[in-house]
A and B are shown apart, each in its own frame.
Chain A
Amino acid sequence: MNSRRDPVAHAVLLIGAFMFIAPMWLLFAGSTQDSASIARGDLSFLPGHEGFGAYARALSGPVPRMLLISFGMALAIAVGKIIISVLSAFAVAFFRFPGRQVAFWLIFITLMLPVEVRIIPTYSVMAGLGLINTFTGLWLPLIASATATLLFRQVFVAIPDELVEAARMDGAGPLRFLWDIVLPVSGANIAALFVILFIYGWNQYLWPLLVATNPRLDTIVIGIVKLIAVETETDWSAVMATAMLALLPPVVVVVLMQRWFVAGLTEGEK
């Protein structure tokens, strides 16, 4: 290790940190200033004198419900994606069956088709199922994940053959093997992926906008956009306070899960 102070490295790191933190800071500072001056473009880099009034205004409206909807949707997407991709990766990694390669490539190809590309047919399927304007409709079409399937496949393929064989000789059937051996051994990877998928779900915009027109199903991301009113005067500090609130759950998830997957990483014997 080089303990010498390297001014260039420091400068680069400071610039990087600044670029990440500045928007957050500006958001926070704005949330404590009065809306009129923000609307004029006088957004100060220092916190204003309004205190946390904007937060109280935000929380008194539909924001708590929106946070709940978003949290439920992100959780359902993350958990659903993990369940589906663990099961399909398990099949692809551990079983020899006809059409296995075909199935694998079909999954692989869907990597090239993000939500936006297949959004119209997805909408029509959801409409056919009567899931428009339902909570289920918000998350159900988003739970298939080629990325997660491929990642889990890599993790599973790395499990030593001898471990698989030892479990076979111990008499563990496929599902038992999945539950008792594969899942605990891949705990750290599942935790890491959960974080990524939760944030992916939390940040969904286009699909919830399309599938749910009922304001009771608005997610927080959509809620922020709706707060920016067109005809009336926008309460900018409330918008910023809401955005701050919208940031919190993903941060909490990252912090909590990080502890868990770091523990998983150090415990795991790889």
Chain B
Amino acid sequence: MAVLELAGLRKNFGATEVLRQIDLSLASGEMLVIVGASGCGKSTLLRMIAGLETPSAGRISLDGRDITSVDPSARDIAMVFQNYALYPHMTVFENMSYGLRIRGLLREDIARRVDEAAALLGLSEFLSRKPRQLSGGQRQRVAMGRAIVREPKLFLFDEPLSNLDATLRVRTRAEIRRLQRRLGVTSLFVTHDQVEAMTLGDRLLVLHQGRPAQLATPMEVFESPADTYVAGFIGAPAMNFLPAVLTDSGTAAKLEAGPLLRFAGGRRDGAEGMALTIGVRPEHIRINPEGLPLRIDLVEPLGSETLVHGRLAAPGEANIVVKLTGKAPEGEVLNIEFPPELMHVFDGGTGLRLA
């Protein structure tokens, strides 16, 4: 059963359309990650669900109840803010219990819930500290604890990891995922980080300029991105794009750079000579002594892998990044080929995927 349902949600700030037509439904216990570049409207969407922003049109319902115009505190939703938004003058215990105290819970119930959440998050020994006496990671956990004690129907996370350093971010990411599974709370997680999106989500919603570009599982988004935006956004380093035209009655693409690539997945609809964009991920490019010559201009060794940046010494001179396992190649030219079975075909005009 769907816990959260968004129907035709829109938001305008004056004449600017920030979000256009968001329809979404979240299953119970599901973790949906909303990902997109800054300014795509992802935070606005989250804030509308929280009740901190009023939608211009559309309907939000939680567990069958229409909450579109319900006060934020009465929505049964808890939110973890990017800067944690801990009350600086209150102790950890007071921070976590503040919402419960306002709701008029019994003192014993409050203490029990806070103790449980604190134990779950490893915060038991810090309950009497003030936020300023805690590290960034601990503050982040307090913010989580404040959400957990509410026992809400829905968790909202607004980029909660972006203020942590890299190591801590990876650890906290895993912790959040474990915790969310264990508590089984339906969650929405907003991030601009595609690794967070891939690792945390049961499903991803990629937002681009206020519209949903793709809604699917992380692997689906990775393996068959809906358009060139999603293809370029998900995956690091980003996918390489090469201009091409449709040829051989829809069964092959002729790259501007020269080679003819026959489609592995059957023919694509479209007129002969239609403009295409061919996408190939850096890790899928293969070395082939007979392949296209790539003039190397930068080699980045990452230890287990090596990134090779270069320009095709062929018509079009596209910039290409190749990810190689093992050591850096020697010499100034690398001959590469694009494996037809691992390439993505997009409409050169609209950028949409051609199945």
Contacts and interface: CB of A to CB of B under 8 A. Distances in A.
Interface string A188-211: 000000000000000000000000
B82 A162 contact: yes
Contact of A169 (B72, B84, B90): B72
B52 A176 contact: no
B117 to A, nearest CB: 15
A170 interface: yes
Given A172-B102, A176-B102, A269-B131, A162 B87 contact: no
A165 B84 CA distance: 11
Given A168-B72, A168-B73, A269-B131, A185 B89 contact: yes
B89 A170 contact: no
Size band of the interface chain B makes with A = 20 to 34
A166 B81 contact: yes
B180 interface: no
Interface string A229-270: 000000000000000000000000000000000000001110
24 contacts: A160-B83, A160-B85, A163-B87, A165-B50, A165-B52, A165-B72, A165-B85, A166-B79, A166-B86, A169-B50, A169-B52, A169-B73, A169-B77, A169-B78, A170-B99, A170-B146, A171-B73, A172-B73, A172-B102, A180-B87, A267-B89, A267-B132, A268-B89, A269-B132
A95 to B, nearest CB: 15
A184 B102 contact: no
Interface string B109-131: 00000000000000000000011
- The listed residue with most B CB atoms (<10 A of its CB), out of A160, A166, A168, A171, is A166
Contact of A171 (B79, B84, B103): B103
Q: Which 6 A-B pairs have the closest CB atoms?
A: A171-B73, A170-B99, A162-B85, A166-B85, A269-B88, A184-B89
B102 A162 contact: no
Nearest to B147: A169
A181 interface: yes
A147 B52 CA distance: 32
Contacts of A162: 81-85
Contacts of B263: none
B98 interface: yes
Contacts of A167: 87, 98
Contacts of A268: 88-89
